[in-house]
Amino acid sequence: MPRKRRQQLVSQMLENLDASALEQYEHISRRYTRGRDGVYALYRNDTLYYVGLARNLQGRLKQHLKDRHGGAWNRFSVYLTIGNSFVKEMETLLLRIARPKGNKQLGKFVKCQDLRRAFRHDYKADVEERFGQLVGRKKVGTSPRAKPADDGRPALAGFIRKGIALRGWYKGKEYKARVRKNGSIKFQGQIFTSPSGAGMAARGHSTDGWHFWCYERAPGDWVPLNELRKHGRHG
């Protein structure tokens, strides 16, 4: 995967100011917060009370001096962002971690996988396997660190439970392939038994397919197939 320039989310911050600065020194505070996107935090002394986001931080903070939150906080911090693409996600993350007293809603992530169901499934499989070992029964399930196939089967047969999408990047172009349930890889109508074979078909020369092809480990998180060899099965 090509290297991406590191993107900056927070460009400026102003922390731990007294609420009086919004009125007594409005001519100064609005220079930095008026019309700016960002996340803000309201405190009662040293205790976090409320977290929010706004497109006009100056106006929102002054509003909180008079609305239902008025009198419940006396200090504030603001974190000015470049654009607002991830501001909602950042606010949701803060709310779920800190759970401020003044917030009624925790918010939702735009696209996020809840791992509790997968954890429950793996937990039950582990308990069943351990019980089988105690009573001398044949092991149920598979080891979390699967072994690659070495008997002529597709190389990914020991690492996946279901079909997964693959992505590869080369010279600014994105290539798409798919791992089938049996571990073989389908790329542009052809079937390959190894990631390297499919990678060579994409790039036109010898390729380490375990590092060229990436799979989506979690929503939006594409990592090299080699991670499967290091950490075990997917799906």
What's the whole-model pTM score? 0.56
Length of the chain: 235
Distance set, CA 7 to CA 2, 3, 112, 208, 224 (Å): 15, 12, 21, 29, 21
Give mean pLDDT, residues 49-61: 90
Tens of pLDDT, residues 70-82: 999 999 999 988 7
- Residue 49: the pLDDT is 95
- Residue 235: the pLDDT is 57
Ranked by mean pLDDT, the top range of 13-22, 24-33, 101-110, 216-225 is 13-22
Average pLDDT, the chain: 83
Confidence band, pLDDT 50/70/90 cuts, at residue 65: very high
Tens of pLDDT, residues 120-165: 887 888 888 888 888 886 554 444 444 444 456 888 887 887 889 9
Scored b (16 or more CB within 10 A) or e, 191-213 reads: ebbbbbbbbbbbbeeebebbbbb
- Residue 40: the pLDDT is 92
Structural domains present in the chain: 10-98 (3.40.1440.10), 164-231 (no CATH)
Phi/psi region, residue 230 (left: phi>0; alpha: psi -120 to 50; beta: rest), is alpha
Confidence band, pLDDT 50/70/90 cuts, at residue 51: very high
